[in-house]
Amino acid sequence: MRRIFWWIFYGLALALLLLVVLIDLYRFVPPPITPLMVIRSFQGQPTIRRWTDNDAISPEMFRAVIASEDAKFCRHHGFDWQAIDEDYERYEEGVGKLRGASTISMQTAKNLFLWPGRTFLRKGLEAPITFMIEALLPKKRIIELYLNIIEWGPGIYGVEAASEAAFHHSARTLSRREAALLAAVLPSPLKSSAAHPSAYIQRRVATIEARMADVPFQRPRICGVPQDPLW
């Protein structure tokens, strides 16, 4: 029994060390592949992606994903506790399912190292990885990773590939509406289309565009707030 315990201990320690090394490496190097890309390739989908640095992405795209996915991105440390509490309260009251109140940092953790799905196991692993990502990476790198690895359609990963597929031009020149369209389809990228938005997506776009005005952006700081050490 003691030997099994030590094998488990050493295995967990090795996994933790590997995560630290990979996260620190991804501070400087683009991830070569993600678990979701592997899963989709086994499902017969291609992998279309083009890494794009923050400087080559339209400011409107940053505003759009923050406005739609994580309004407190610049202020939290990986977890939006207020949103998590509200989500749990709705669940306790029988109003819908647990959504997880995922932040951009949590979604980055999931896409970098985990698999899709809403199991408690995956969410349990997602939390410590999110903490490690926030501890080891600046905000500007977190959102850069996020915009380059998330799924934007069948076989399409990252904002550059998504922009070219939907609008036939680079992510550098995305307009406010185009950025809002791309952000609007993120919750269900395999069912929604930025190029051919449904009435529901059009309504989401209107909401996102209205919120984008409240998202500060001033290079070289993504959030435009001096106390946020984004760079």
Per-residue tokens: 141: 């790198």
Per-residue tokens: 114: 């985990």
d(CA 135, CA 139): 10
The answer to whether the CB of 192 falls within 8 A of the CB of 184 is yes
pLDDT of 44 reads 93
Does residue 20 register a pLDDT over 80?
yes
d(CA 20, CA 28): 13
Give 157's strand partners: 49, 151
Task: Summarize the confidence of residues 139-162 as an average pLDDT.
Answer: 96
Beta pairing, strands 156-157 & 151-153: antiparallel
Task: Summarize the confidence of residues 79-102 as an average pLDDT.
Answer: 65
Helix (H, G, I), strand (E, B) or coil at 88: helix
d(CA 84, CA 26): 28
Helix (H, G, I), strand (E, B) or coil at 156: strand
d(CA 195, CA 189): 12
pLDDT of 169 reads 97
Continuous segment of H or E residues that includes residue 24? helix 2-25
End-to-end CA distance of the chain: 48
- Residues 221-230 have pLDDT tens digits of 666 544 444 4
d(CA 190, CA 209): 22
d(CA 153, CA 66): 20
pLDDT of 97 reads 57
pLDDT of 99 reads 55
**Binning pLDDT at 50, 70 and 90, where does residue 88 land?**
low
Task: Summarize the confidence of residues 134-147 as an average pLDDT.
Answer: 95
Region for 25 from its dihedrals, namely left if φ exceeds 0, alpha if ψ lies in -120 to 50, beta otherwise: alpha
The larger pLDDT score, comparing residue 106 to residue 95, is at 106
The answer to whether the CB of 151 falls within 8 A of the CB of 163 is no
pLDDT of 82 reads 76
Task: Summarize the confidence of residues 47-64 as an average pLDDT.
Answer: 95
- Closest by Cα among 160, 161, 171 to 59: 171
The larger pLDDT score, comparing residue 117 to residue 58, is at 58
pLDDT of 119 reads 81
d(CA 78, CA 98): 18
Say which residues have a Cβ less than 8 Å from residue 47's Cβ, sequence separation at least 6.
33, 37, 40, 41, 155, 157
Helix (H, G, I), strand (E, B) or coil at 218: strand
Does residue 168 register a pLDDT over 80?
yes
Per-residue tokens: 203: 């309504």
